[in-house]
Each structure stands twice: as structure tokens, then as C-alpha cells.
């Protein structure tokens, strides 16, 4: 079984918090979805997104340079989407 170092280091909830910081925070997210390996995002301000920080959190790549982007997190993308959207609903 494959274990991502950052999940082991941070735990899932702490990891989501760190990923959100690198996405510019909850208020920077217009929409969050996922496919098998990618977190699909629309952000309000792309300049608030820290690509290097996302890569440090285990992303294997980032596609898109505008407000519409995909962050490749592998099989955990759907889990991250669910946790982020629960936080978004709690803040609406």
C-alpha cells in the first residue's frame, strides 16, 4: 500500500487545512470537485494559490494557470474534495 508522507506527517484534517492555506483559503474557492486523481477547482484569485506549497503537500502536478485549475493528488483527490466541501458548507 502507498502512504503519502504528508498524510502521515499531518493527518488528514491538518493536511486539508494546509492545502486550503495553499489554495488561498476557503473564501478563494468558487467550486471544488474531483475526478479519480485530480482536485478540480475554480478560484476567485489565482495569484493567492501557492503552487510550490501544494507540491510540498504531495501534489504531483498542477494543470491550469487561470482561475480554473486541477491539482493532481492521486486517489485521495475525492477524499480531499469531500472534506473541503464540508468546510465550505459550514462557512456559508
CATH number of 5-90: 3.30.1360.60
pLDDT in tens, 4-37: 444 445 566 888 999 999 999 999 999 999 999 9
Catalytic-labelled residue, pool 25, 30, 35, 65: 35
Long-range contacts of 3-7 (CB under 8 A, 24+ apart): 4/58, 4/74, 4/76, 5/58, 6/56, 6/57, 6/58, 7/58, 7/76
How high is the pLDDT of residue 11?
61
Q: Using pLDDT thresholds of 50, 70 and 90, give the confidence band for residue 59.
A: very high
The domain spans of the chain are 5-90
92 has catalytic annotation: no
Amino acid at each position: 500500500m502507498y502512504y503519502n508522507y504528508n498524510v502521515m506527517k499531518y493527518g488528514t484534517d491538518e493536511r486539508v487545512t494546509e492545502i486550503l492555506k495553499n489554495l488561498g483559503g476557503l473564501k478563494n474557492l468558487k467550486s471544488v470537485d474531483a475526478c479519480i486523481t485530480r482536485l478540480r477547482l475554480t478560484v476567485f484569485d489565482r495569484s493567492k494559490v501557492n503552487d510550490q506549497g501544494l507540491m510540498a503537500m504531495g501534489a504531483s502536478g498542477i494543470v491550469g494557470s487561470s482561475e480554473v485549475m486541477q491539482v493532481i493528488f492521486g486517489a485521495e483527490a475525492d477524499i480531499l474534495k469531500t472534506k473541503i466541501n464540508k468546510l465550505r458548507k459550514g462557512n456559508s
